[in-house]
Copies of this chain bind each other. A is one copy, B any other.
Amino acid sequence: MFVLGIDPGLSRCGYGVVEQIPAAGSQRARSEAVGLGVICTAPNESTAQRLATQMRELRCLIDEFRPAVVAVERVFFQVNARTAMGVAQVAGLAMALASDTGAEVVEYAPNEVKQAVAGWGGADKAQMQRMVCELLALDELPIPADAADAAAVALCHLSRTGWHRAAARSRSIAR
């Protein structure tokens, strides 16, 4: 089962496709990154053109992986209304496209994601990159940070649904 995590943004939208691989025989349950990246748009384009680019690329991602769940980082307007507008609009595109394919759509606040992945809500970008690297058993730190943030949203969802607890149990049994 694929979970697509989205760290929305108009200029840069991070995505992380995480596969849940159940325990089988001596193989412990684990989460594996099958796609990490960032959709970038050109600053000289209009907002509408940039939204169209994000829509096309998000649609390609969803069509390719057909995720069962799309987990989107929740937007707050309090911080910066100007930036938040583009973030909210790209989050809306992801949610609409995901729901249109029948995927479950969930939203998590940034501090929920940090709490679930790094253990505390105030974790910085570097700590999050290291934890994503650890949880997905990557050979190197996921770069850019937006891709790691997006994978963290997917991992947050798996953690909330008990996957990581189950994976940890299966890990201790397998040892």
Contact = CB atoms under 8 A, between A and B. Distances in A.
A123 interface: no
A89 interface: yes
Interface string A81-106: 10011001111110111111000010
A47 interface: yes
A92 B56 CA distance: 13
A98 B51 CA distance: 10
Interface in A76-131: 77-78, 81, 84-85, 88-93, 95-100, 105
Contact of A84 (B46, B77, B98, B105): B77
A174 interface: no
A137 interface: no
Given A92-B89, A93-B92, A105-B46, A52 B99 contact: yes
A105 to B, nearest CB: 4
Nearest to A58: B96
Interface of A: 46-49, 51-52, 54-56, 75, 77-78, 81, 84-85, 88-93, 95-100, 105
22 contacts: A48-B95, A48-B99, A48-B105, A51-B92, A52-B97, A52-B99, A55-B96, A55-B97, A75-B85, A77-B81, A77-B85, A78-B81, A85-B88, A88-B88, A88-B92, A89-B95, A89-B96, A90-B92, A92-B92, A92-B93, A93-B93, A93-B96
